[in-house]
Amino acid sequence: MRKVAVVGVGHSNFGVRKDVNIAELTWEAVKEALEDAGLTQKDIDYVPVGSYGFWYEEPLPAVVVTEYCGLVPKGHVHCESACATGSAAVHLAYYRVASGLSDIAMAIGFEKMTEVDTPTAVEFIGRAGSYIWEFENFGMTFPGYYALLATNHMANFGTKEEHMAMVAVKNHYYGARNEKAYLRREIKVEDVLNSRPVAWPIKFFDCCPINDGAAAVILAAEEVAKKITDTPIWIKGVGCAGDTGNIAKRENLFSIRSAQLASQQAYEMAKITPQDVDVAEVHDCFTIAEILAYEDLGFCKKGEGPKLIEEGQTYVGGKIPVNVDGGLKAKGHPIGATGCSMIYELTRQLRQEVEPERQADIKKGIALAHNVGGTGHSCYVTILGRD
């Protein structure tokens, strides 16, 4: 297996993008990634395109996107892994290059969720568990799923609604300082607690927004990467795991097993421990999910996630800065784009290119992306290194 580096990244503005179709939206990210790497479309060998689908009119999005972006006749594939779709695209590109089949690959993730109304979008996402048992019989939606995780964590570890609200406050603080983010305004704990209930204890400001966006990541083999850029960001470790579709069959409802397993794989491959990570992007589709991630990734012991956010340890300057781009909560969560967006942010963090207020202190040159599909149906963990 060859060493693989990130050599270019691109990112559209996230938000309600009625001004573009899926191809035009994706081109914003692809164009920026090509310019970042100093490459053209002819340099790209292979293109995994990640999109969850449902929301827009095109049943073959990889075909439409690659044609518009000038990537035909390069090989491409449409991939899907629920909310971890973007990371699935990155991992496909990684394996393609690491195996020697391609020298340069581009992972693209995008979504245009606002083409349907909110109730329809909620239904589509709600179908993503065990459809017949959970959706048809009990009417489960994703806020409902994460409410189950939240109430179990509260019952077992004393987690409070205020702790979840603190996650939202932090992520809005950094989202307000991220030019690519959708929700660019700060909020207070009281704003979260007083927002309308969605599925107790999940409230409106505990939820990530439905929105549109795209991101692109260019990967290259070691010998090629060193010719392209003086600042390659190496993929040091990757991990992937899954869990049951039926949430009732899980070992417990206060952690995500697939995240624990995927992170263990990635740590072992990268030959690091959680304490070596300088900055992390974690999957905060709901505020409780970020608290679970602290624990599942080993940033603290089980049950100590609330303490980590209460003490401000996940802000810049703390023990482990997390989601300092706003996370899914404030930057937005256009499903297929999220995994690629995480790699975009961490690449720029390791290059020290982000806005000063959001720049983590890079001591060991290690960053981690944690991208959960569904309620843990799948999880991808990617570890990046500067040296």
Long-range contacts of 296-303 (CB under 8 A, 24+ apart): 296/255, 296/256, 296/259, 296/260, 296/263, 296/370, 297/259, 297/263, 297/368, 297/370, 297/381, 298/263, 298/267, 298/273, 298/274, 299/274, 302/157, 302/255, 303/156, 303/157, 303/158
Of 165, 147, 166, 206, which is closest to residue 329 (Cα–Cα)? 206
- For the segment 260-271, the average pLDDT, to the nearest whole number, is 98
- For the segment 143-164, the average pLDDT, to the nearest whole number, is 97
Unique residue bearing structure tokens 């305004």: 185
Q: Could you give the domains of the chain?
A: 4-116+211-228 (3.40.47.10)
Q: How far apart are CA 124 and CA 252, in angstroms?
A: 25
Q: How far apart are CA 200 and CA 143, in angstroms?
A: 9
- For the segment 294-304, the average pLDDT, to the nearest whole number, is 98
Q: What is the pLDDT of residues 166-205, one digit of tens each?
A: 999 999 999 999 999 999 999 999 999 999 999 999 999 9
Catalytic residue among 163, 333, 370, 377: 333
Residue 124: pLDDT over 90: no
Triad 134, 140, 146: Cα angle to 5°: 110
Q: Please say whether the beta carbons of 69 and 52 come within 8 A.
A: no
pTM exceeding the 0.85 threshold for the entire prediction? yes
54 pLDDT band (50/70/90 cuts)?
A: confident
Residue 258: pLDDT over 80: yes
- Residue 10 main-chain phi, psi, to 5 deg: -145, 155
Whether residue 333 lies in the annotated active site: yes
Q: What is the pLDDT of residues 335-379, one digit of tens each?
A: 999 999 999 999 999 999 999 999 999 999 999 999 999 999 999
Least confident of 110-114, 244-248, 326-330, 380-384: 244-248
The pair of three-digit structure tokens given for residue 39, joined into one six-digit string: 């490459």
- Residue 279 main-chain phi, psi, to 5 deg: -155, 145
387 pLDDT band (50/70/90 cuts)?
A: confident
Whether residue 207 lies in the annotated active site: no
Q: So what's the pLDDT on residue 325?
A: 98
Catalytic residue among 11, 69, 76, 83: 83
Q: Please say whether the beta carbons of 279 and 360 come within 8 A.
A: yes
DSSP state letters, 336-381: GGHHHHHHHHHHHHHHT-S-GGG----SS-EEEEEEEETTTTEEEE
Q: What is the pLDDT of residues 58-88, one digit of tens each?
A: 999 999 999 999 999 999 999 999 999 999 9
